[in-house]
Amino acid sequence: MRVRTGGASLVFETSGRQPARHEMVLDETQPSGAEVWSCPECGRRIAVQWSPDYERVVLEPGDGRAIHAGGTGGVRIGKVEVVPSSDAAAPDTAWRQWLADSGIDWDGSAA
């Protein structure tokens, strides 16, 4: 199995019956610590407060049928594509090569 990130296509939307997937972006962090997130696609806006108690207030409902991602503290997860692979003969070797290229000695010979 090979996982490729950054692909242009979203492979999970293949049936045509999946709800739209929107990505929320952080609009502003208020002095109180509350974060205001908005969806550039449908205009949904929510305010999130993390502490002392988690609280979420919907300011603008936007498109209620869409799945809204994001709003998790600014962590962005790229699109992930899982491709059944027949050419990955030795994934271990590929990973070790990648680690070596990154300056990491997988075998730990440096102790």
Residue numbers of the site for Zn ion (CB under 5 A)?
A: 22, 39, 41-42, 44, 62-63, 66
CB 63 to Zn ion: min, Å: 5
Q: Which residues contact 36 (CB under 8 A, 6 or more apart)?
A: 26, 27, 28, 29, 30, 45, 46, 47, 48, 59
Comparing CB distances to Zn ion, the nearer of 62 and 71 is 62
For Zn ion, give the closer residue by CB, 39 or 48: 39
Integer CA distances (angstroms), 16 to 10, 24, 81, in order: 12, 22, 18
Beta carbon nearer to Zn ion, 44 or 46: 44
Q: How far is the CB of 81 from Zn ion (least distance, A)?
A: 22
CB of 20 to Zn ion, least distance (A): 7
Contacts for 34 with CB less than 8 Å, ≥ 6 apart: 47, 48, 49
